Amino acid sequence: MTDAPVDLPAPTAAPRPAQRPSERTFHGDTFVDPYAWLLDADDAETLPHLRAENAWTEVATAGQAPLRDAVFGEIKARTQETDLSVPVRDGAWWYLTRTEEGKAYPIHCRRPDDGTTATWDPDPAAEQVVLDPNELAGEGEYLGLGVLDVSPDGNWLAYAIDREGDERHALRFRDLRDGAAPAESAETIDAVSYGFAWAADSQTCWYTLDDDAHRPDRVVRHQVGTDPSSDVEVFRDDDERFHVSVGASRSGDVVVISAGSAITSESWLLDAHQPTLDPVVVAAREQGVEYSIAHHPTGLYVTSNHGGAEDFALWRAPLDGITTGPRDSWEVVLPHRPGTRLSGVETFAGHAIVHGRTEGLTAIWLLDPGTGATTRFATDDAVGTISPGANPTFTSTTYRFSYQSMTTPPSVLEQDVATGDRTVLKQLAVLGDFDPGRYASAREWATAADGTQIPISLVWRPDAVPAQGPAPCLLYGYGAYEMSMDPWFSIARLSLLDRGVVFAIAHVRGGGELGRHWYEDGKFGAKHHSFSDFAASAQHLVDTGRTAPSVLAARGGSAGGLLMGAVANLAPELFRAVVAEVPFVDPLTTMLDPSLPLTVIEWEEWGDPLHTEEAYGWMKAYAPYENVAPATAVRYPAILATAGLNDPRVGFHEPAKWVARLRDQGHDALFKVELGAGHGGPTGRYDAWKDEAFVLAWVLAELGLA
């Protein structure tokens, strides 16, 4: 948190920004917004107000400082600060990251492949440092790493740094051939977005740039060592709904340009061996049709929902160089199976790996390209998460993946694709007296208002919760973009569990946990299902005796912050406290302004209230900022909202306005603003731990556990 200026006295009351009423009229409806001016970061009163909010939050939570320090100490004590990742072989090198006690960022290193295994004694002197972000970041300063990519020959590193949190990066190139003192190429390319790819010559590369609305819309080709002013634009998408990215295939033969909106996608291929050739489209975009691709010399593997495959199917498209045949020439490899959602495929020389989900859980299948037979990777826990690992080598005969549950720390495993033999390469170390056997995890189902069964994942420490009566509980949710909140392990969460708090995830509609229909039934006019599902999940936990409203807190961020704001309006009586991180709580105002970042592409997620009265009505009905009830009518939970000044995804003004309106209506709300960060908050691990300790201490205090 950025403190108030030292020459100002500590505040004695929450700040109240000036009201400057501004009318907004659409579709015959007029809304008077007293705080619209907070959108302007350059307004003379905006930054002082944000500083005043931070100062008041510091004063209001001063009594929690010992608890914050204790939680931070617990996170730090349980974390193995000096550690190594599992090395990954790529070309002639083994790559790994190293963390060191006292350093905020992981150090990216490599060793030559000498024919031995990936296991060796830790020896920093034997490794070449590819990039050490600790040398680039100042004390406590924001440092985001948007690109980190070594050329195919191993000689050049491309890396891109964001120092503001606005996700616009400065791209640079480092010559790694002199391992002791790598030299920087002279050029810097500013305002680069995410996405990068090398050509096979290890000199040519492609990167992406944004338009004025912060939308990545261009792919540009560059030659290392040349003036960026001579770079060549190779692709541009003028449709404001589409975001553009670029990445290399595992085979190394092609580079893929992807253009996607919320519900439509299109891919183009670049020849990695002839980088000056123009890109070739795989299949022209069709509204509502999505697909992703994986290159193999014998054909292009395509995961797509075309032809009515709601949960997607897998095809193989004929390939002539970088030109594919039309959709009607594609061969079905895995047909559509309702309820089994295919999310992508990875191709290797002799096999393929399919990712997806079934029965509400993540899944990985080994695919025999010749027969089409699949074998699902086995997992242990009833409620766990399996996910792809680092597998850069096309000719590999093993596959790395990760596994974790709410009681099992993340593990890196490797499986022989021929024999099925499996090796655990590493499990996250949790120091101290951690014993996974002390914790229990389960999946339960809540019944929504329309009868739909909503899955809830829970974890708790049985010997810490009350033997009789309700336990304190923190319920987490998201529910948008078909993103699934799959069960995950958290060292920081142990500080809650060991104090007797039950942690639960409500897998509400709008996410992707139960397939595409789960997403579709929580967007547009059905968005209210996300909110009522979360309330139903809370009610289930109360009705089953696990918790009670007096000791139940809720937490969510970004679109999950919208969930928090909407639930505070919908069912405030169910919660004691709500944490809304970078919350999208003024969605209607934002979706009415196409000049703001993300608005146009977001119309395919939330609806277009600018041009459609029906969509305006949907959003008007649930927008948290516009639906705050007065304290004379209802008691709201205590609310903690957070923001990042440079956030390009959810503007800081949204929670700033919401908190001001909550206070106007007589409710208790605190606001914490990172003045030098963006959507993800602090980047250094110690600052991130302090940020998490702040939130957890506030929750514990509100639940009576301070």
- Kindly report the three-state secondary structure assignment for every residue of 25-62: EECCEEEEECCHHHHCCCCCCHHHHHHHHHHHHHHHCH
Residues 578 and 601 in one domain: yes
The tens digit of pLDDT for each residue in 401-435 reads 999 999 999 999 999 999 999 999 999 999 999 99
- Alpha helices by DSSP H, 425-571: 494-497, 516-520, 528-543, 559-570
* Token output for 457: 């994942």
| Position 241 in a domain | no
Q: What is the mean pLDDT of residues 226-251?
A: 97
The reply to whether 324 falls in a domain is yes
> What pLDDT score was predicted for residue 114?
79
Same structural domain, 595 and 512: yes
Give Cβ neighbours of residue 126 (< 8 Å, ≥ 6 apart): 111, 120
The arithmetic mean of pLDDT across residues 338-348, rounded, is 97
Catalytic residue chosen out of the listed positions 486, 608, 679, 687: 679
Does residue 422 form part of some domain?
yes
Q: Of 402, 428, 454, which closes a domain?
A: 428
pLDDT at 679: 86
Is a pLDDT exceeding 50 seen at residue 382? yes
Whether 441 is catalytic is no
Helix axes 685-702, 65-78, angle to 10 degrees: 130
- 605 part of a folded domain: yes
- Would you state the pLDDT for residue 121? 61
> Is the residue at 480 inside a domain?
yes
Judgement on whether residues 528 and 400 belong to the same structural domain of the protein: no
Same domain, 406 and 475: no
Q: Are both 482 and 587 inside the same structural domain? A: yes
| Extended beta strands in 417-521, E state | 422-427, 440-447, 453-460, 473-476, 502-506
Task: Judge whether 119 lies within some domain.
Answer: no
- 532 labelled catalytic: no
Q: Which of 187, 254, 261, 256 is nearest to 217 (CA)?
A: 261
Token pair in block for residue 236: 């541009």
Alpha helix (H) residue ranges in 119-228: 133-136
Q: pLDDT per residue over 167-215, tens digit each?
A: 999 999 999 998 777 899 999 999 999 999 999 999 999 999 999 889 9
CB atoms within 10 A of CB 705: 15
Answer yes or no: do 373 and 520 share one domain: no
How many other C-beta atoms can be found within 10 angstroms of the C-beta atom of residue 293? 25
The per-residue pLDDT for range 586-614, each reduced to its tens digit, is: 999 999 999 988 899 999 999 999 999 99
Give the position of tokens 């050029």: 187
Residue 567 covered by a domain:
yes
* 540 found inside a domain: yes
| Residue among 477, 556, 478, 485 nearest 514 (CA) | 485
| Mean pLDDT (whole number) for 320-324 | 93
pLDDT value at position 2?
Answer: 42
Q: Is the torsion defined by CA of 351, 353, 359, 362 positive or negative? A: positive
Residue 83 known to be catalytic: no
Of the three residues 368, 398, 428, the one that is the final residue of a domain is: 428
Q: What percent of the chain has pLDDT over 90?
A: 90
DSSP structural state of residue 491: T
Pair 424, 453 in one domain: no
β-pair partners for 90: 93
Fill in the amino acid letter for 54.
N
- Judge whether residue 506 has pLDDT over 80: yes
Beta strands 291-296 and 254-260, pairing class: unpaired
**636-658 pLDDT tens trace:** 999 999 999 998 999 999 999 99
Length of the chain: 706
- Given the residues 647, 653, 667, 687, select the one marked as catalytic: 647
Q: Are residues 509 and 602 in the same domain?
A: yes
The predicted pLDDT at position 1 comes to: 40
Residue type, 638: A
Clarify whether residues 403 and 506 are in a common domain.
Answer: no
Residue at which a domain ends, from 428, 462, 494:
428
Average pLDDT, the chain: 95
Q: How many CA atoms lie less than 13 Å away from 269 in the CB half-sphere?
A: 26
CA–CA separation, 599 vs 651, rounded Å?
12
Looking only at the bridges linking them, the beta strands covering 473-476 and 502-506 are parallel
- Whether the pLDDT of residue 5 is over 60: the answer is no
pLDDT digits (tens, 9 = 90+) for 68-127: 999 999 999 999 999 999 999 999 999 999 999 999 999 999 999 877 654 556 677 789
Q: What is the pLDDT of residue 99?
A: 96
Sign of the alpha-carbon torsion through 7, 9, 14, 18 = negative
Both tokens of residue 658?
Answer: 């919401």
Tokens coding 124: 């920093």
Check whether residue 476 and residue 586 sit in a common domain.
Answer: yes
Tell me which of 558, 586, 608, 691 is the catalytic residue.
558
Same domain for 458 and 369 = no
Q: What is the mean pLDDT of residues 550-564?
A: 98
Q: Which domain holds residue 335?
A: 298-428
At residue 3, the pLDDT reads 44
Mind listing the pLDDT tens digit for each residue in 357-370? 998 999 999 999 88
Is the same domain home to 373 and 308?
yes
CATH code, 318 = 2.130.10.120
Angstrom distance (rounded) from CA 527 to CA 61: 34
Instruction: Count how many domains the chain has.
Output: 2
Q: What is the CATH number of the domain that holds 576?
A: 3.40.50.1820
**Cα distances (angstroms) measured from residue 445 to each of 165, 405, 457, 482, 540:** 38, 18, 9, 19, 8
pLDDT at 544: 97
